Amino acid sequence: MRRHAGNPWLVLLVVSLGFFMTLLDLTIVNIAIPNMITKLHASLDDVLWVINAYALVLAVLVITAGRLGDLIGPRTLFFAGVAVFTLASAACGLSPSPGWLIGFRAVQGLGAAMLMPQTLTIITNTFPPERRGAAFGVWGAVAGVATIAGPTLGGLLVTAFDWRYIFFVNLPVGVIVLALTVAIIPDLRLGRRHRIDIPGVLLASAALLAICYGLVEGQRYNWGTITSFISIPLILAFGVVVLAAFLVYQKLTQAREPLVPFAVFRDRNFSVMNWVSGVLAVGMMGIFLPFTIYLQSDLGFSALKAGLTMAPASLLSMFVAPGAGRMTDKIGGKFILMTGLLLFGGGMGWLALIAKPASSWQSFLPPLIVAGFGMGCVFAPLVTVAMRNIQPQMAGAASGVLNTVRQVGLVIGTAAVGALLQNRLVSTMTSQARARSVALPAQARTRFITEIQSSASNGIQVGAGQNGGMTRQSGLPAQAAAEVARIGQEVFAFGYVQAMRSTMLLPVILLAIGAASCLALRERAPKRDAKPGSPAAEGAGAVAAEGAGAVAAEAGTPGQAGLS
């Protein structure tokens, strides 16, 4: 199986580069949100779909793609995934409108889903057992680097050029990975065959798409009728019904390798950690998405300055995580996880409380340090606790479920938080407009308030320099027009801060609930049949490493997280 011309460490380099691209795209897009809105004349819900199209396809197809790799060979699917991802990146950068960008982001998610599961399979079957630990360490570190590089590199590219270059940066990396894949990665044939649960994939896709569409577009249609008999409540109800049908179908097909094997949920720790993983994904999206927009649209930071403002949390998390992982092995993960979740939520709640329309980046440093320390205490213990008691023969399925739950949490979190943010922004801006419009001429006052109130129907504008969707008011003297513009900017600035605070309150509460849920964990693992060094133990450790790398990918996601 290892008879190939390449060096195992070169194989690791190649798959890590491919892995790096997919993780970078979960973080790099979020920092470009205001620039996309401004340059593409897009609305907030348009950009939410730019994030969700990628995460939704990745969430639904990652398990299926892993099994497909067993059927046709991991190198073949890895190569195909990199090719699809690279071509889709070029298409994203050339997109002329939000609709085209959303479509190509979905194709990007397909490429990421194809290549991501193959990376661990290739490493596991290329390195001998005695060297896999070091290989997994390097591979997992790639996730940490991607979380830091995403916001900073994205900020640099957007500041120097524009949003299109956050996609173009993937092109040279993708071409290099494709060339090296053919030359270095062995053509592994694993001899395992799996059933592809096509009905399960279709049902899960339809359910998630309906739920996410309803949440993202709800505010635009005032949570009512879209056209004819089709309404937002009907679409949401359809999504819930299809999701229930998916779960029933999975229950009936448990003996035939379903998309979600229910047997893994018999372990209490695994079930609790899946809940916490989903809560964490929603919480991170609910915190970083509005904060990223605030830094650029409200404070006027460049994309680079916004990325650097958030970098301390990711940097500290990267350094704290290894120590938290070692402590978990010694004393258990229950109280480390609880501490981490409370610190992360508390730090971000502190940040929301001190945010003002004229804050400086230095004022955010203390809460971000607290939040970053908390993040570092969450990711490694979460995967370790989740996978510790899973039997080796179920480890692959369990890892797939954990990754899928996290991606679904990101999708639902993006949609729900986006809907809440838009709803609160309309309310707070309307309130601000009524209070501040008394200083305007009588002939401009009514129109000013009306435009604020109706801005939701076209999607709230939150790009850099935006004022919430208001147009220039014609027919006014120059001095009066200037006063309208100034008050409009104040309405947006103060209204957005108020909306952001109330929006971030929900994820902070969710993180506290997640921390309390950790009380249900069992600290002592049952005895295992597999001894250290045995193939079964190595397999379980490999999958735990996979989960750790993927979870770490969310550690510094500003809006992803991914947002993306």
| CA dist list (Å): 256 to 195, 216, 252, 397 | 8, 35, 9, 13
Q: For residue 108, what pLDDT is reported?
A: 94
Homologous superfamily assigned to 1-195:
MFS general substrate transporter like domains (1.20.1250.20)
pLDDT over 70, % of the chain = 77
Residue 360, C-beta contacts closer than 8 angstroms, at least 6 positions apart:
none
Q: What is the DSSP letter of 294?
A: I
Q: For residue 93, what pLDDT is reported?
A: 93
Domain 1-195 shares a fold with domain 264-418+504-556? yes
Site of tokens 């002329």:
96
pLDDT over 90, % of the chain = 19
CA angle 467, 472, 474 (to 5 degrees): 160
Q: For residue 536, what pLDDT is reported?
A: 43
212 exposed, middle or buried (CB, 10 Å; 0-12, 13-18, 19+)? buried
For the residues 482-505, what does the mean pLDDT come to?
Answer: 80
| Among 559, 553, 563, residue whose Cα is nearest residue 21 | 553
Task: Report how far Cα 382 is from the mean position of its chain's Cα atoms.
Answer: 17
Residue 421, C-beta contacts closer than 8 angstroms, at least 6 positions apart:
44, 289, 290, 499, 500, 503
Q: What is the CATH number of domain 264-418+504-556?
A: 1.20.1250.20
Q: For residue 89, what pLDDT is reported?
A: 95
Over 70: is that where the pLDDT of 545 sits? Answer: no
**Which of helix, strand or coil describes residue 225?**
strand
Q: Tell which wins on pLDDT, 329 or 72.
A: 72
Distance CA 488, CA 500 (A): 18
Over 80: is that where the pLDDT of 277 sits? Answer: yes
Q: 465-478: per-residue pLDDT in tens?
A: 554 455 555 556 66
Both tokens of 8, joined, read: 């195992």
Over 90: is that where the pLDDT of 51 sits? Answer: no
Would you place residue 461 in the very low, low, confident or very high pLDDT band (cuts 50, 70, 90)? low
| Among 504, 495, 507, residue whose Cα is nearest residue 425 | 495
Q: 476-493: per-residue pLDDT in tens?
A: 666 666 766 777 777 777
Q: For residue 365, what pLDDT is reported?
A: 92
Residue 496, C-beta contacts closer than 8 angstroms, at least 6 positions apart:
293, 294, 297, 298, 357, 425, 428, 429, 462
For the residues 141-165, what does the mean pLDDT come to?
Answer: 76
Q: For residue 512, what pLDDT is reported?
A: 94
**Which helix (H) or strand (E) is 226 found in, with range?**
strand 225-227
Would you place residue 103 in the very low, low, confident or very high pLDDT band (cuts 50, 70, 90)? very high
Over 60: is that where the pLDDT of 564 sits? Answer: no
Both tokens of 552, joined, read: 């770490």
Q: For residue 546, what pLDDT is reported?
A: 43
Q: 509-542: per-residue pLDDT in tens?
A: 999 999 999 998 887 544 444 444 444 444 444 4
**Directed axis angle between helix 303-331 and helix 365-376, to 10°?**
40
Bridge partners of 231, per DSSP, are: 225
- Mean pLDDT is highest, among 146-150, 218-222, 373-377, for 373-377
**Which helix (H) or strand (E) is 147 found in, with range?**
helix 129-160
Residues 524-528: contacts with CB within 8 Å, 24+ apart?
524/332, 525/388, 525/389, 526/389
| Among 38, 21, 9, 284, residue whose Cα is nearest residue 132 | 9
**Which of helix, strand or coil describes residue 259?**
coil
Over 80: is that where the pLDDT of 125 sits? Answer: no
Over 50: is that where the pLDDT of 344 sits? Answer: yes
Over 60: is that where the pLDDT of 558 sits? Answer: no
Task: Report how far Cα 205 is from the mean position of its chain's Cα atoms.
Answer: 17
Q: 403-433: per-residue pLDDT in tens?
A: 778 777 877 777 778 778 877 887 887 787 7
* Domain boundaries defined on the chain: 1-195, 198-252, 264-418+504-556, 424-495
Over 90: is that where the pLDDT of 242 sits? Answer: yes
Would you place residue 42 in the very low, low, confident or very high pLDDT band (cuts 50, 70, 90)? confident
Average pLDDT of the chain is 77
Q: For residue 136, what pLDDT is reported?
A: 59
For the residues 240-253, what does the mean pLDDT come to?
Answer: 92
Q: 305-315: per-residue pLDDT in tens?
A: 888 888 888 78
pTM above 0.85, yes or no: no
Q: 16-36: per-residue pLDDT in tens?
A: 888 888 878 777 887 788 788
**Which helix (H) or strand (E) is 230 found in, with range?**
strand 230-231
